[in-house]
Structure 1
Amino acid sequence: MPHTESASSRNDTPVVSFGGQPLRIEDVVALARGEAQAELSGDETFRARIRRGADFLDRLLREDGTVYGVTTGYGDSCTVTVPPELVAELPHHLYTYHGCGLGALFTPEQTRAILAARLSSLSRGYSGVSVGLLQQIEALLRNDLLPLIPSEGSVGASGDLTPLSYLAAVLCGERQVWRKGEQVDAARALQDAGMTPLRLRPKEGLAIMNGTAVMTALACLAYDRADYLCRLATRITAMATFTLDGNAHHFDATLFSVKPHPGQQQVAAWLQADLPCDQPLRNEKRLQDRYSIRCAPHVIGVLTDALPWLRSSIENELNSANDNPIIDPDNERVLHGGHFYGGHIAFAMDSMKNAVANIADLLDRQMALMVDSRYNNGLPSNLSGATGPRAAINHGLKALQISSSAWTAEALKLTMPASVFSRSTECHNQDKVSMGTIAARDCLRVLELTEQVVAALLITVRQGVALRADIAGGESLLQELPGGGLAAMQAALSQDIPLVAEDRMLEPDLRLLLERIRSQAWTLYE
């Protein structure tokens, strides 16, 4: 659950506070989904710290101090001195010339997450921005005025410059926003909301744009989806094991005690809760099931074990000051560095997409066993529910397995690490870059494809469990399984997905299941 505070004035909508406690991934996800409201902390100590940084910069400028991006050009142009009378115009030039993004626009959910991630970083108090700037980002979130941000154009160092330029421009009343699903000119949207366009202070354009907010926001959303995927893939594995009349002893607690990866053990424990792992093995059972069943905890467990350190990297970045230069308001120092470099997020996303794609491959292999009458222990070919003469013209899940294989192949293809494709850019000033935003976008695409495989598998196990139960003597067999998890899942799936007795177009079923997956409709393994 997100960290929340009292919100009685907002109809009990949970509030995520910026400037107080560190944010968690769940906070960003709640804001992204519109399930919580952003609120800038009113704590005077926090606000005084923000003001000290901005005041220090002002005093430094009055004393003819040299500050990168304030009294100099940007990037390779850092040797160019900006005349004092033009300093105020510089940040507006920065977001203007970076308005060159392309590709699909980030979704409203992704854009809310981006605003939250940037507000979190600027609220650390090391960016030299004004309280008014923080309030303006808070107001965009509160009024759900979301900059239209193209998703392509960032190399992940010097941060997410081009995509974040669209946020900077909107804060100043330029470009466009989403408002209630429509594209509206930012100036009009701000005016209608009672907001005044900003005139950026000397470092504020750089502070908004020179950071890792886009990749970090996408990483938060990816983490949430991957965490749910671990549980859902485990439940599908339990239902696949039942469908195949498989051997639940593969998930025995003692067996997993001797290879003590905690995540792997957790997946095995979930399977133990669903299947009769402690009952004697029947003589007619296959002694060892194929790897996609027997090794499922080992495959899903890789992602489950990775989640804690993925969380650590993502939340560290989320709660960091990651622009340049860093303004130290306590010791009144300007520290030039490279905190905009998104290497940790790049590595996290490259790692996550690998583990996620392996789960897609695992489930696709389970499906291949279930639809093949040579391997599914007595079930109809392609799990067709047709009987009698009509069985000859019905093909069950034949095409669904082809589609699942296509989605899996595409997910696996995208596992090439983005972070190894650093390119020297910007006159060799940015000569080593993270590619963190590309890695995060790739990871979300791999998750999307894997969720499509999951949707196909949910149709498959819903069909397979029903056919196995019919052969074995009825649905009462499901009720005898421990925990009741499989019976409840089968009942929920049956409400959404009718048994495939006659061939039918399955796209509507798949799209409905994708909605269920992405809304995390099923409670799994509490």
Structure 2
Amino acid sequence: MIYGIDTFSFHDVLEICKNPNKAQLTQEAKNQIIKSQNNVKQIVESDRTVYGINTGFGPLCDVKISEEETAQLQYNLIISHAVGVGKPIDKEFSKIMMIAKIHALSKGFSGVSLEVIERFIVMLEKDIIPVVPEQGSVGASGDLAPLSHLVLPLLGLGQVWVGNEIFETAEILEKNKLEPLVLGPKEGLGLINGTQFILAHAIKGLEKFEYLLDLADMTAAMSLEAYRGSSSPFKKELHDIRPFEGSKKVAARMLKFLKDSDNLKSHEYCDRVQDPYSMRCVPQVHGASRNAFEHLKIMAETELNSVTDNPIVLSAEESISGGNFHGQLMAMPLDYATLAVAELGNISDRRSYLLLEGKYGLPRLLTESSGLNSGFMIPQYTSAALVTENKTLCFPASADSIPTSLGQEDHVSMGSISGRKFNQVLGNLVNILAVELMFAAQGLEFRRPAKCSKIIEENHAIVRLKVAKLEDDRLIGKDMLAIAELINERKFVVNF
């Protein structure tokens, strides 16, 4: 993979995170970078007034800066904008930010030097990763505060991750015989204008969302087996006449999960006419979430392969001050995706509830000795609490805007908040699905000796590796956490 030249997918970025040597700068990419830097040099020498090169920033854009002061201007920009607060984002988010920033700068429209870009690459390869606080970006004039913290280590400032520990940057640079850099004209602005904080949260969230979509289908199939529901709502003929891609895919997957199930065949001609919506409408609800995933994926990969700083330097004669840094294009799909993730949890909780009702051969609360034992009564409370928490997190951050920069930046996206909420809701969904898996696995115990499909039996066995059948009350909070760990480690078989 070649920075600045190739079109990256979000999977490519995750692969580079694991192995930074997977991407490189070819001479072609280096030539683009050098050409861009030379264009900025010529602008400085021409004495033309160009925003961010020889002017102040934001509302100070009408203040002219002399050629001698340009280096100080860029340094001041970074240290004055590094005002993030809150706990650090996960190290992998910072790595994704670095990769996305390198890729955008390497396209040759930002005027950032080869030396700066190569330093970022060296830091990636040596696992020297900037510490970035999670709060402080309004997602409009780029993710200014988070990106400033990302850039601080280039100047010998701030903190960095090495392994799983945090160190002062100066200590690590000295240890690796790396000198702090001095930024040239426009370099500071090119480095901190952009949407890489928002984008990192989209990319990392997409990775988890993709797996949880598949897991939700499998979990629904296991619940349907335990409930002894019908597979008829998943027939191809039904979905061909309402052909949304997401619902068609889920319906086909559900039929595969349920194929050759002795359990479902055993009540094929029972007098139950139809199942509740949370069992019957899995393709429509999960499918809608899949459609949202695909939309966010397209938007994120477009952003990943874009130039998002300002001004854009087209040549020594032409630069454009525009709004490519504005996060709205990512904020809205992230808010939509957050709702889609929350709905996977919402319908999962309803399936969990159905399994507790004591209908169709299942005992109440999935225990044969209820009364003395509470069985699985309270884990559904946990699920319900998480579902409601997710609902409160579904308010779209992109619906809000607070003017900043003395009114110069009078409409902002709040996309950084959209990205953070998206990942928070995904984390809650893991625990909601863990509850459903625990219930579904218990429900299957009451359907024996009938067997489910091969893949459902395989996943049931995975649950049982960590969590035994519940006979009498025990500390089942540990069981929930054990299943959540299996989910986070991707132990379940969710594809064919």
Distance 1:285-1:45 versus aligned 2 partners, 3 A rule: same
* Alpha-carbon distance in structure 2 between the residues aligned to 1:125 and 1:522: 43
* Alpha-carbon distance in structure 2 between the residues aligned to 1:501 and 1:208: 59
Give the one of 368, 378, 387 matched to 2:353: 368
For the Cα contact (< 8 Å) 2:289–2:343, is it kept in 1?
A: no
Higher alpha-carbon deviation: 252-261 or 403-412: 252-261
Q: Give the drift of 1:40.
A: 5.5
* Alpha-carbon distance in structure 2 between the residues aligned to 1:42 and 1:435: 33
The aligned residue for residue 124 of structure 2 is 141
Distance 1:336-1:302 versus aligned 2 partners, 3 A rule: same
For the Cα contact (< 8 Å) 1:40–1:135, is it kept in 2?
A: no
* Alpha-carbon distance in structure 2 between the residues aligned to 1:228 and 1:459: 18
Note the 1:166-315 alignment, pairs <5 A: 166-276=149-259, 282-315=268-301
Note the 1:68-147 alignment, pairs <5 A: 68-147=51-130
Q: Give the drift of 1:246.
A: 0.8
* Alpha-carbon distance in structure 2 between the residues aligned to 1:512 and 1:494: 10
For the aligned residue pairs, the C-alpha RMSD in angstroms reads: 1.8
Q: How many residues align?
A: 493
Q: Give the drift of 1:393.
A: 2.1
Q: Deviations over 1:210-239 (max 9, x none)?
A: 100000111011111111111111111111
Give the one of 464, 480, 484 matched to 1:514: 484
The aligned residue for residue 400 of structure 2 is 421
Distance 1:45-1:30 versus aligned 2 partners, 3 A rule: closer
The aligned residue for residue 11 of structure 1 is none
Which letter maps to 1:23? F
Note the 1:434-473 alignment, pairs <5 A: 434-469=413-448
Per the normalisation by structure 2, the TM-score is 0.95
What secondary structure, in the 3-state scheme, does the structure 1 residue paired with 2:5 have?
A: coil
The aligned residue for residue 477 of structure 1 is 451
Which letter maps to 2:216? A
Identity of aligned residues (%): 31
The aligned residue for residue 321 of structure 2 is 336
* Alpha-carbon distance in structure 2 between the residues aligned to 1:155 and 1:382: 46
For the Cα contact (< 8 Å) 1:38–1:138, is it kept in 2?
A: no
What secondary structure, in the 3-state scheme, does the structure 2 residue paired with 1:200 have?
A: coil
Q: Give the drift of 1:124.
A: 1.4
Q: Give the drift of 1:162.
A: 0.4
Q: Give the drift of 1:30.
A: 2.8
Q: Give the drift of 1:410.
A: 0.3
Note the 1:355-434 alignment, pairs <5 A: 355-373=340-358, 376-384=359-367, 387=369, 391-434=370-413
What secondary structure, in the 3-state scheme, does the structure 1 residue paired with 2:134 have?
A: strand
Unaligned runs of 5+ in 2: none
* Alpha-carbon distance in structure 1 between the residues aligned to 2:9 and 2:374: 47
Q: Give the drift of 1:38.
A: 4.3
* Alpha-carbon distance in structure 1 between the residues aligned to 2:338 and 2:211: 14
Q: Give the drift of 1:477.
A: 1.8
* Alpha-carbon distance in structure 2 between the residues aligned to 1:228 and 1:185: 36
* Alpha-carbon distance in structure 1 between the residues aligned to 2:317 and 2:479: 60
Q: Give the drift of 1:285.
A: 4.2
Q: Give the drift of 1:60.
A: 1.6
The reply on whether 1:505 has 2:475 as its aligned counterpart is: yes
* Alpha-carbon distance in structure 2 between the residues aligned to 1:345 and 1:30: 22
* Alpha-carbon distance in structure 1 between the residues aligned to 2:471 and 2:180: 60
What secondary structure, in the 3-state scheme, does the structure 2 residue paired with 1:394 have?
A: coil
The aligned residue for residue 12 of structure 1 is none
Q: Give the drift of 1:520.
A: 2.3
For the Cα contact (< 8 Å) 1:18–1:39, is it kept in 2?
A: no
Q: Deviations over 1:320-379 (max 9, x none)?
A: 0100001114x7421111100011210110110111111110000000110122xx3121
Give the one of 3, 6, 26 matched to 2:11: 26
For the Cα contact (< 8 Å) 1:177–1:184, is it kept in 2?
A: yes
Q: Give the drift of 1:52.
A: 0.8
Q: Give the drift of 1:439.
A: 0.5
Unaligned runs of 5+ in 1: 1-15
* Alpha-carbon distance in structure 1 between the residues aligned to 2:277 and 2:129: 46
* Alpha-carbon distance in structure 2 between the residues aligned to 1:224 and 1:264: 20
The reply on whether 1:352 has 2:352 as its aligned counterpart is: no
* Alpha-carbon distance in structure 2 between the residues aligned to 1:382 and 1:430: 55
The reply on whether 1:489 has 2:464 as its aligned counterpart is: no
Higher alpha-carbon deviation: 22-31 or 440-449: 22-31
What secondary structure, in the 3-state scheme, does the structure 1 residue paired with 2:395 have?
A: coil
Higher alpha-carbon deviation: 151-160 or 193-202: 193-202
Higher alpha-carbon deviation: 302-311 or 514-523: 514-523
Distance 1:67-1:382 versus aligned 2 partners, 3 A rule: same
Which structure is higher in RCO with an 8 Å CA cutoff and minimum separation 6? 2
Q: Give the drift of 1:280.
A: 9.8
